[in-house]
């Protein structure tokens, strides 16, 4: 049985590979908080402009109104009147997001964070390992390997793009299991 802290804040992290349902799960949790009549707000990084400017959008096209953040420190001032704070695509923020999340939780906020735990090389991505370490609750979701059908924890880049951050969908990435994932050759 999982106990939910009473009269206290906490951090929840939803992580996994691309196509594992992280944003879908984030939206589900935020909608349940709204049903409980809790004030909810969600933030996303400015770099995430794939589906919509003003919404977080899952691969299943479920969406929820969001606020674009360029400077992660603005989350504190923009979430004062909310009890539940959602943060999507947290891997794109710098490590300041860890300090911000801890401060929000200390101020009795429920902080729900979603993001990729590893990059296209299979390496830890941005602040996600530190967020997972600080979280009271961590859920690692898995996709389905497009090659063999096993649970997939890797985001295999299939494009020739070389940058660390390359936004894309099925045109640039596939979900792969440990056995089917091929480490990219980096020059």
Question: Each residue of 131-141: pLDDT tens digit?
Answer: 999 999 999 99
pLDDT digits (tens, 9 = 90+) for 97-119: 999 999 999 999 999 999 999 99
In this predicted structure, the answer to whether residue 1 has a pLDDT above a threshold of 50 is no
Record the tokens describing residue 180, joined without a space. Answer: 């089917």
CATH at 115: 3.40.50.300
Q: Is 155 among the domain residues?
A: no
CA atoms of 155 and 153, how far apart (whole Å): 7
Q: Is 187 among the domain residues?
A: no
What φ, ψ does residue 154 adopt, rounded to 5°? -120, 150
pLDDT digits (tens, 9 = 90+) for 159-181: 887 777 777 776 799 999 999 99
Active site residues: 89
- Which structural domain range is residue 32 located in? 10-141
Q: How many domains is the chain built from? A: 1
């Amino acid at each position: 049985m999982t106990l939910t802290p009473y009269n206290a804040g906490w951090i929840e992290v939803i992580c996994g590979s691309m196509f594992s349902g992280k944003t879908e799960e984030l939206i589900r949790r935020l909608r349940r908080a709204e049903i409980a009549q809790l004030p909810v707000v969600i933030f996303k990084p400015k770099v995430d402009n794939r589906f919509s400017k003003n919404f977080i959008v899952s691969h299943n096209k479920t969406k929820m109104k969001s606020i674009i953040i360029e400077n992660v420190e603005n989350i504190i001032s923009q979430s004062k009147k909310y009890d539940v704070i959602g943060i999507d695509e947290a891997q794109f923020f710098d490590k300041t997001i860890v300090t911000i999340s801890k401060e929000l939780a200390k101020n009795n906020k429920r902080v729900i964070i979603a993001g990729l735990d590893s990059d296209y090389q299979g390496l830890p991505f941005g602040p996600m390992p530190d967020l997972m370490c600080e979280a009271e609750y961590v859920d690692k979701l898995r996709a389905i390997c497009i090659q063999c059908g096993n649970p997939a924890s890797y985001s295999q880049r299939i494009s020739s793009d070389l940058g660390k951050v390359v936004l894309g969908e099925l045109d640039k990435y596939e979900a792969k299991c440990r056995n089917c994932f091929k480490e990219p050759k980096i020059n």
